[in-house]
A and B are shown apart, each in its own frame.
Chain A
Amino acid sequence: MDVSNAHLLDDAVVTTTLDAVVTWGREASLWPFVFGTACCAIEFMATAASRYDISRFGAEVLRFSPRHADLLVVAGTVSYKQAPILKQIYDQMPEPKWVVAVGACASTGGFYDNYTTLQGIDEIVPVDVYVAGCPPRPEAILDAVISIQKQLKEEPKFTLRHQEFKSKLDNV
């Protein structure tokens, strides 16, 4: 909006839909909680630093309390030992919330097909966007943020997401 013309809107009434306003607010203010565990987290650091600058997409307000965040970025390998912590953090985030699995490990266990590593975080929490790569380049992580922004436009705004999801660690 051209601010110099703001007076033109002085007494105006703008009509829109509630959905449109909510979407507009949500897409431009995703607050990520970075669950960074390994090499991918280092590339997330690069995504947040000035060259790639995640703030261009409105997602630079990194929160270190899950209760303040609505975008869970899981960057790195999640081991069986780490899994209950991931679940707890996800549960602590208020709705609506989105999850990005950054990299091969978070998406599928990557090349750690062994006794230590969870074979994909979607066993524990529902995932909205998977990012390929080991580690993905910062551009790919930005692309995931943009995908979430697109996705949330299409979604119903006032119902809980992923109610049908069953976690391997439910009821324990």
Chain B
Amino acid sequence: MSETQHINASELFGVIFQAKEQEGFSLLLDITAIDNLDKSHPTSTRFELVYILRHEDFKTLKIFKVSLADPLEGVESITSIYTSAEWAEREVYDQYGIHFKHHNTLKRILNHNEFEGHPLRKDYIITQGQYCTTSQDLMDEMQPLLEARCLDMKEDDLMIVNLGPSHPASHGTIRTLAALDGETIVAAAAEIGYLHRGFEKSCENHNYNQIIPYTDRLNYCSALMNNIAFSKTVEEMLEITLPDRGIFIRVILSELSRVIDHLVCLAAGLLDMGGQTNYWYLFNPRNNAYDFLSKLTGARLTNSYMRIGGMTHDLYEGWQDDLTDVLAKIDQGITDSLKMITHNRIYNDRIQNVSPVSADEALQYGFTGPNLRASGVAYDLRFSDPYYYYDTFDFQMVVGSVGDTYDRMMVRFDEMHESMKIIKQAMEQIPDGAINVSDKRIVMPSKDDVYGGIEGMMNQFKLVIDGVKVPKGEHYGAFEAANGELGFYIVSDGSGTPYKVKVRPPSFYHMAAYPKIIENYQVADAIMTLGSLNIIAGEMDR
């Protein structure tokens, strides 16, 4: 259920405040903007802001749209209402050049500090790269943090340590600057954007099916899930539903991807802690899963198996045996690993009560997925707003209590079991029949038709050149991905290429909270916390 409401810039703050405090919209999902410059029917103002909120029933959505007369004038910042707005507003400022009044650190976040212009504006040429020559020292963010805590570098004998962006435990490309008192972090700031690859801008010059390979590379540990989430959103705009067999294949592959994602997260997390054997135990079955996927899709990691309206081809003969074997190996890996850690003092002592996040804080930060559930909030889209027959499968939601690093890891361990339960049920129940919708405007004709007749050939030609035409409109589609709520906000002008795509990336919001929750813990704890949040740079920076 979603409702869109147009409001004036001047009343924005009041309306959002009310939505949260009185109407119970406790989760700010995302903020983005639309540049109307290229619209065929010009709107009264060039920019519009979009705020997406979720109700605490975790089902109802509310979207506020604000027309903006002057981007420099901007609107009031809502960071005092939702902490998660801090980075979201910075991103809008960076990408669109829209100002937010009374935002404490309104500066670039994804693009580098020497960058000129605002890339998601329609008049920014997509290929116009700009070299970066220096890194910023981040002291502009650190200094106010220290002042707020009445600390002084010299007097309190603090030391600044820079972790990343190229650091074995920084999981790719994350940079954290920490002020240390001895071993304890007293203040921290994070810098992201090192893996900003212009996903959203690239979407604006590719047609819908061409975007699918790009979605693979958002969360590359569970690529198929992103394919599915994106296709599902576009299908909702087209108002089509897949035949049951197609849906079951998607469920099986989604859940397998969730298991793979959690395996990588836990394997890497335990490796950071020094538990190398666990890395082998958890990582090897993932290789078996990849064997299955490459047999099915032709690729290990970046599968691009989905299409708008279905998928490229059906499951191969004998897939049940392969998948059953994979599940058995994964189960064995998890059991072996749990045997080593469940009663292990080092494991338990190092992560229990480290960086706990309370339920309220987690919602403020915009947490979703396993990280939110670890904090004791029972939010999972598969339960609160079930799609793809999730309400008919027998499985449970895994919820933690303390929200510490331990809970975040153990929730993932248990979720793998639940996902495997779903896969097994789906394998039994999967019906025969078509996998794709039968609509010539959406799905490619069979190769026999393409080579056998002029009609089929033209059909293929039109679909390749023009793409799938999506009705004019705007839509936010959400999906329970491995890391949390993965959303796509798509604006269509009726053509085969989206006018705008915005991803609602779970990792982005988890990362925004990271420098805050590692405060008062030690550097070694921070490494574990980062691992447990499972920050995937491709998804965070897009």
Binding site for B on A (CB under 8 A): 35-39, 41-43, 45-46, 49-51, 64, 76-77, 79-85, 89, 111-119, 134-135, 137, 168-169, 172
Contacts and interface: CB of A to CB of B under 8 A. Distances in A.
A80 to B, nearest CB: 5
B202 interface: yes
Contacts of B301: 39, 42-43, 135
A68 B104 CA distance: 41
Contacts of A76: 172, 195
A85 B167 CA distance: 11
Main secondary structure of the interface of B (DSSP, over half): loop
Contacts of A35: 166
Contacts of A117: 129, 197-198
Contacts of B221: 42
A77 to B, nearest CB: 6
Contacts of A118: 129
18 contacts: A36-B172, A39-B216, A39-B538, A76-B172, A77-B197, A79-B193, A79-B195, A80-B112, A80-B129, A81-B112, A82-B195, A83-B131, A115-B201, A116-B129, A116-B196, A117-B198, A135-B300, A172-B134
A51 B279 CA distance: 13
Given A37-B173, A111-B214, 10 more contacts: A37-B195, A38-B197, A39-B302, A42-B264, A45-B264, A112-B197, A115-B130, A115-B198, A118-B129, A172-B134
Contact of B220 (A38, A50, A81): A38
B213 A49 contact: no
Given A64-B168, A77-B195, A137 B300 contact: yes
Interface of B: 111-112, 119, 124-135, 165-168, 172-173, 193-198, 201-202, 213-214, 216-217, 220-221, 264, 268, 279-280, 283-284, 287, 290, 300-302, 537-538
Contacts of A116: 111, 119, 129, 196-198
Given A37-B195, A38-B172, A112-B197, A84 B132 contact: yes
Contacts of A46: 283, 287, 290, 300
A79 B131 CA distance: 9
B129 A115 contact: yes
A50 B280 contact: yes
A66 B134 CA distance: 19
Contacts of A113: 126-127
A38 B195 contact: yes
B133 A169 contact: yes
Nearest to A82: B194
Contacts of B202: 111-112, 114
Contacts of A83: 131-132
Contact of B134 (A50, A79, A84, A134): A84
Contacts of A49: 279-280, 283-284, 287
B341 to A, nearest CB: 19
Contact of A119 (B112, B129, B201): B129
A116 B111 CA distance: 8
Contacts of B195: 37-38, 76-77, 79, 82
Contacts of B302: 39, 134-135
B269 to A, nearest CB: 13
Contacts of B196: 79, 81, 116
B132 A80 contact: yes
B198 A51 contact: no
Given A42-B301, A77-B197, A81-B193, A51 B165 contact: no
Nearest to A63: B168
Contacts of B112: 80-81
A169 B129 contact: no
A88 B125 CA distance: 29
